[in-house]
């Protein structure tokens, strides 16, 4: 079945780094753009980053620009989010989502906590 599974979350100190992964299955990963969306505890949804199906274009929210990098490996059906210079306000559940007009498939999310 169509599935996205995130991993790589955890607790990191302010200024630290973390890399999230999103493993895709059940669809042709290389044909679709992919997003990262986050949700701080008790808050709403915030779009974080997007990458085109072939990796040729990448977009970022202003809040993460210059600190986060989205990438993908179509040979491994995997999406990544490299997060550097992490701040307390980056604490959130991070979801990957498939782009088909709207965000039609979501992973279960991985929790990132930035705390000393």
Residues at the site binding another protein, with contacts judged by CB under 8 A = 35, 37, 44-47, 50, 59-62, 95, 101-109
CB closer to another protein, 75 vs 102: 102
The helix or strand, by DSSP H or E, that contains position 13, with its residue range, turns out to be none
Integer-rounded Cα Rg, in Å, for the chain is 13
- When the beta carbons of 16 and 67 are compared against another protein, the nearer one is 67
**In the complex, least distance from residue 2 CB atom to another protein, rounded to whole angstroms:** 11
* Closest to 47 measured CA to CA, from 103, 105, 112, 104: 103
Least separation, in Å, of the C-beta of 100 and another protein? 9
DSSP-derived pairing of the beta strands 10-12 and 110-114? parallel
């Amino acid at each position: 079945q169509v599935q996205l599974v995130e991993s790589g979350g955890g607790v990191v100190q302010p200024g630290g780094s973390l890399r999230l992964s999103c493993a895709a299955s059940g669809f042709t990963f290389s044909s679709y753009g992919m997003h990262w969306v986050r949700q701080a505890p008790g808050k709403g949804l915030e779009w974080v980053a997007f990458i085109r199906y072939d990796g040729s274009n990448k977009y970022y929210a202003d809040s993460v620009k210059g600190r986060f990098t989205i990438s993908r490996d179509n040979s491994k059906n995997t999406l990544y989010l490299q997060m550097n210079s992490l701040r307390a306000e980056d604490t959130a559940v991070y979801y990957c989502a498939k782009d088909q007009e709207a965000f039609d498939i979501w992973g279960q999310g991985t929790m990132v906590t930035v705390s000393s």
